[in-house]
Every structure is written in C-alpha cells, then in structure tokens.
C-alpha cells in the first residue's frame, strides 16, 4: 500500500481524529463516572454516620453511653452488611468498633486509627488488604458538657472499583475496534470519492498530441473534481486549437513552397540541358540545382509529416504482407548497397500481415535501409528481419555501422535532428527521415525504437498490430545481395 497516497493519508487522519475524539469522550466519561459513584458512596456513609451520631446523642442525653454498642448493632448490624462503624472519644477511647462478621470481606480492627479533622464532617479513602479501598466518612458529635465524639462509617469501594474497571475494559476493546472500522470505512469512502480521479488519470495518460480531440470525463456532482476536470478540458481545447493552428501552418507553408520549387527545379534543369546555354553557365548551374533538390526534399518531408500528424485518411488502407513489402523494397535498393559494397541480408516469415497504407510503409523500409546503408562504411553489413511476435508484426533493420551516441539516441526521431550536422548534410540528409518513419508508424498504431552501440552498429525496430485474420506465417525466406 502506498502510504503517501491521498487515500491512505485521508483515511489515517479520519481514523485518528475519530479515535482521539472517542478517547477523549471515554476519559471524560470515566472521570464523571468515578466522581458520581464515589460521591454516592460517600453521601451514604455520611448519612449513616449522622444517624449513628444522632443515636449516640440521644443515649448520652439519657446518660446511657454504655448502651451505644448494642443499640448500633441492633439497628444497623454493620458486620452483617459488610460495613464499618467506629465511635471514638477525643481522648482516644474507642466507644464502639463494629465486630468482624464471618461474611465480612475486611477486618475492622485493621483499619487505621481515627482521624480527627477540623471540620464537623470529613471523608477519606483508606486502603484495605489486597489493593482494595474503603470509603470512610466521619461525623463529629459535640456534647453540651464539652465532650466530642467521632462517629466513622465506612464501606468497601469494591463495586465502584469494579464498575470503573469494566468501563476501562470496554474502552480498551471499543477504541481499537472503532479505530480499525474508521480506517477501513474512511479508506472506502475516500476511495469512492476519488474514483473519478483514477478515470481522469487513465484518460489523461492516453491523450497525446495526436489524440487531442479526446476529453477528460467530467463527474457531474458539482465538487472540486468537476471544476478541475472542466478547467483541464478547457486547457486541452486551447492546446488542440494551438496544435491544429501550427500543423495547418506547416502544411500550408510546405504546400505553398512546393510549386515554386518545382518550377525552379524544372527551369534549372531545362537550362542545364539546353545545348544553347553557354558551357560555363551549365557548369555553375549544378550546385544551385542540387540545393533546390534538397529544399524540395525537405518540403516534401515536412508536407508528409504534417499530413500524417493531422491524421488525414490515407488514400489506400488495405491488409498487406509486411515481409513481402520489405523484401521487394530491399530488392529495389540493392544497387545502392552494391555501390557501397554493403552486404544486405533479408530474412522474414512470409505472411506477416498488417493493415495500412503500403506506399507509406514502403517509405518506412526505404528510410531505415537508406540510413543503414548511408551510415555503414563499405564492407559492412545490414540485416532486415520481419517476423510475427506476441501478436505484433516486427520489422528490424540492423547494421554494423558507426552507431549512434547514447546522448543522441532519444532525439533521432525528432524533426531536423542530425547527430553530425556536417556529415549528414554531405550525405544529403536533412534530419527528417526518421521523423517521417515515426509519424507513419504512429498513424498505423505502431511504434518505432532505436538501439545502438557506438562503433558496432545500430538497430531500428518497428512494431505494428498484426492483422488477426491474416494467413499463418510459415515460409522462411533468406536473401543475400552484394
Ligand atoms: P538524415 O536524413 O539526416 O539521415 P534521419 O532522420 O534519417 O535524418 O536520421 C537522423 C540522424 O540519426 C542522422 O543524421 C544520423 O546521424 C542518425 N542515424 C539514423 N540512422 C542511423 C544509422 N543506421 N546509423 C547511425 N546513425 C544513424
């Protein structure tokens, strides 16, 4: 689980706040419960002490203090009720101490000495054996002849302690349970709330400069995500318009340049061939004609890319055998390889069917082979392979040439990119060949990638969707040319 995700963090915050709130509530309830239970017990003991004190006062009035013990026993029977009563005089004499009954849970004689307080009534908690406690309330009786008696009444706090323990146990069980439920519930709630974000992210991943007509799904619930997606869609609208504008500009510019360049080339060629032109003229016209041809090639390349990028429907969109197309194209380029004494090997499984525009796909093979021959020194070799692999048609062109430095590898498919500007220009390249290859592959829902080891050679791999209904590939052909 990603602990930095919004889902996780929101759920943890939610569960923590819920648990902290409940823990606070639990503590407050514990304190209130403790006060209420001990308060009630204390009040009971005060009442009993006052009653005993009243009884003692009546007996003292009748000068019959000796009857205090039997009277208290008869009326209140403290031992039987697991209670404690003690009457003591200021001089320390104990007039009465409740006797220990067999059912009693504590020993009255073990309770500490009487504690005289300044006030007429005071209460305290005294320890009993085994960690238990007793609530002891004292009432001072002041007689008319100046004598004072302390009447103490006490009861073990077992019920209070066990009630508080039960409450703590309940809290100990409930808090982790509520924290776990809060975490799980919070996670599910946040996950549901963020579900549209996953869909938006998946769509945004798909949108590229070629699919700018797509829009993000807008959840119609008036929340922040709806506002965000609407704003992003407006941004894509503007990007789409800007892209279309720039594509139209390149297409228009290259279209406009084609005609004057063709005219210029035609006129230069006529002048060059015309026997009436002076010889010096004809000698000097070769170089401008070459430049015009180069310009015309660039313009053609740009025009092709802008049409492909604009997604213009190809004239011909049919299923065809990529292996056959590759082999026949390599055949046509045999002369070029022969000139440079380059050994071209072609291997392919006949019947690797793809769908698309044959002429444009031929252009891919031509550009890749042309580069491989161009950038491989004489005596080197070029291998062209076509095969079906993992539901894909794969075309590979590998050479034993100079290779491409790793820093340049990611850029070779960019327009006008050339590794060595001076050398490429001598060879006649404008840096558009691989950009055209990439545009054609993208238009065919395929991809192209380059690998290279400088000094050892390069490998270009084109992957296209295989046509499922195509005949099975079986025959292996191999062809060598010099
Ligand atoms: P160019 O028309 O200049 O050949 P490309 O777009 O076809 O333009 O190629 C871009 C650059 O990539 C070339 O200038 C060249 O430096 C490099 N390149 C392409 N193919 C190869 C190859 N097979 N071996 C070495 N370098 C290559």
User: How many structural domains does the chain have?
Assistant: 3
Task: Measure the CA–CA gap between 129 and 349, rounded to whole angstroms.
Answer: 96
> In this structure, are 323 and 456 located in the same domain?
yes
Looking at residue 2, what is its pLDDT?
Answer: 78
Nearest CA to 44 out of 78, 74, 71 is that of 78
Greatest mean pLDDT range, 192-206, 250-264, 443-457: 443-457
Q: Is the CB of 398 under 6 A from ligand 1?
A: no
Q: By three-state DSSP, how is residue 117 classified?
A: coil
Nearest CA to 9 out of 223, 186, 177 is that of 186
> In this structure, are 322 and 461 located in the same domain?
yes
Looking at residue 422, what is its pLDDT?
Answer: 61
Nearest CA to 154 out of 284, 44, 236, 68 is that of 44
User: Between helices 322-332 and 358-374, what is the axis angle to 10°?
Assistant: 50
Q: Which residue has the higher pLDDT, 216 or 482?
A: 216
> In this structure, are 322 and 459 located in the same domain?
yes
> For the chain, what percent of residues have pLDDT higher than 70?
94
Nearest CA to 305 out of 439, 146, 116, 447 is that of 439
* 47 Cα–ligand 1 center, Å: 106
Q: Which H helix or E strand runs over 87?
A: strand 84-89
Contact 218, 184 (CB under 8 A): no
Residue 415 included in any domain:
yes
Mean pLDDT, residues 35-41: 96
Banded pLDDT at 231 (limits 50, 70, 90)? very high
**Residue-wise pLDDT tens digits, 249-283:** 888 888 899 889 999 999 988 888 888 878 888 78
**Residue-wise pLDDT tens digits, 304-337:** 888 887 776 556 789 999 999 999 999 999 899 9
> For the chain, what percent of residues have pLDDT higher than 90?
52
Q: Is the CB of 402 under 6 A from ligand 1?
A: yes
Q: Is the CB of 473 under 6 A from ligand 1?
A: no
Please report the beta strands in 118-228, taking only residues with DSSP state E, as ranges in sequence order.
121-127, 133-142, 148-156
Q: Is the CB of 364 under 6 A from ligand 1?
A: no
> In this structure, are 217 and 362 located in the same domain?
no
> In this structure, are 143 and 211 located in the same domain?
no
Enclosing domain of residue 63: 6-164
Looking at residue 425, what is its pLDDT?
Answer: 55
**Residue-wise pLDDT tens digits, 67-115:** 888 889 888 888 888 999 999 998 888 989 998 888 888 989 889 899 8
Looking at residue 69, what is its pLDDT?
Answer: 86
Banded pLDDT at 481 (limits 50, 70, 90)? very low
Task: Measure the CA–CA gap between 215 and 226, rounded to whole angstroms.
Answer: 13
Looking at residue 429, what is its pLDDT?
Answer: 75
> In this structure, are 389 and 246 located in the same domain?
no
* 336 Cα–ligand 1 center, Å: 17
For the ranges 139-153, 201-215, 327-341, 380-394, the lowest mean pLDDT is seen at 201-215
* 449 Cα–ligand 1 center, Å: 13
**Residue-wise pLDDT tens digits, 364-404:** 999 999 999 999 999 999 999 999 998 899 999 999 999 99
Looking at residue 469, what is its pLDDT?
Answer: 56
Residue 307 included in any domain:
no
Please report the beta strands in 189-310, taking only residues with DSSP state E, as ranges in sequence order.
none
Looking at residue 477, what is its pLDDT?
Answer: 47
Task: Measure the CA–CA gap between 359 and 207, rounded to whole angstroms.
Answer: 28
Q: Is the CB of 419 under 6 A from ligand 1?
A: yes
Looking at residue 474, what is its pLDDT?
Answer: 46
Residue 39 included in any domain:
yes
Complete DSSP assignment for 7-58? HHHHHHHHHHHHHHHHHHHHHHHHHHHHHHHHHHHHHHHHHHHHHHHHHHHH
Give the max Cα distance, the chain.
Answer: 165
Residue after which a domain boundary falls, among 120, 140, 164: 164
Any idea how long the chain is?
A: 482
pLDDT(62) > 90: no
């Amino acid at each position: 689980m990603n602990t930095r995700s919004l889902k996780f963090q929101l759920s943890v915050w939610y569960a923590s706040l819920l648990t902290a709130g409940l823990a606070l509530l639990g503590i407050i309830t514990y304190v209130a419960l403790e006060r209420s239970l001990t308060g009630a017990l204390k009040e009971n003991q005060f009442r009993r002490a006052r009653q005993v004190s009243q009884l003692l006062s009546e007996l003292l009035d009748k000068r019959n203090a000796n009857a205090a013990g039997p009277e208290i026993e008869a009326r209140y029977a403290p031992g039987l009720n697991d209670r404690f009563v003690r009457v003591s005089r200021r001089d320390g004499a104990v007039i009465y101490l409740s006797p220990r009954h067999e059912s009693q849970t504590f020993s009255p004689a073990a309770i500490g000495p009487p504690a005289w307080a300044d006030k007429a009534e005071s209460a305290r908690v005294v320890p009993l054996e085994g960690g238990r406690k007793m609530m002891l309330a004292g009432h001072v009786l002041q007689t008319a002849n100046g004598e004072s008696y302390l009447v103490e009444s006490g009861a073990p706090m077992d019920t209070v302690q066990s009630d508080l323990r039960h409450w703590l146990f309940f809290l100990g069980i409930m808090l982790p349970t509520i924290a776990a439920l809060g975490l799980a519930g919070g996670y599910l709630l946040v996950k549901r709330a963020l579900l549209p974000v996953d869909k938006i992210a998946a769509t945004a991943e798909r949108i590229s400069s070629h699919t700018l007509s797509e829009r993000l799904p807008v959840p119609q619930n008036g929340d922040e995500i709806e506002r965000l997606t609407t704003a992003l869609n407006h941004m894509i609208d503007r990007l789409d318009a800007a892209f279309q504008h720039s594509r139209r500009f390149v297409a228009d510019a290259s279209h406009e340049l084609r005609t004057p360049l063709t005219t210029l080339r035609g006129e230069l060629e006529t002048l060059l061939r015309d026997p009436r032109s002076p010889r010096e003229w004809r000698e000097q016209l070769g170089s401008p004609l070459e430049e015009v041809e180069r310009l015309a090639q660039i313009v053609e390349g740009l025009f092709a890319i802008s049409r492909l990028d604009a997604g213009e429907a190809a004239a011909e969109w049919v299923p065809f055998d990529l292996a056959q197309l590759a082999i026949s194209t390599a055949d046509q380029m045999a002369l070029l390889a022969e000139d440079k004494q380059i050994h071209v090997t072609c291997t392919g499984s006949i019947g690797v069917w793809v769908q698309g525009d044959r002429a444009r796909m031929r252009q891919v093979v031509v550009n890749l082979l042309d580069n491989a021959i161009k950038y491989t020194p004489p005596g080197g070799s070029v291998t062209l392979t076509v095969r079906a692999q993992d539901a894909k048609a794969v075309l590979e062109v590998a050479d034993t040439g100079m290779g491409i430095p790793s820093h340049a590898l990611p850029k070779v498919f960019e327009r006008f990119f050339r590794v060595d500007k001076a050398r490429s220009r001598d060879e006649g390249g404008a840096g558009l060949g691989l950009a055209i290859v990439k545009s054609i592959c993208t238009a065919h829902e395929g991809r192209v990638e380059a690998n290279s080891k400088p000094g050892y050679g390069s490998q270009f791999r084109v992957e296209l969707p295989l046509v499922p209904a195509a005949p099975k590939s079986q025959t292996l052909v191999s062809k060598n040319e010099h």
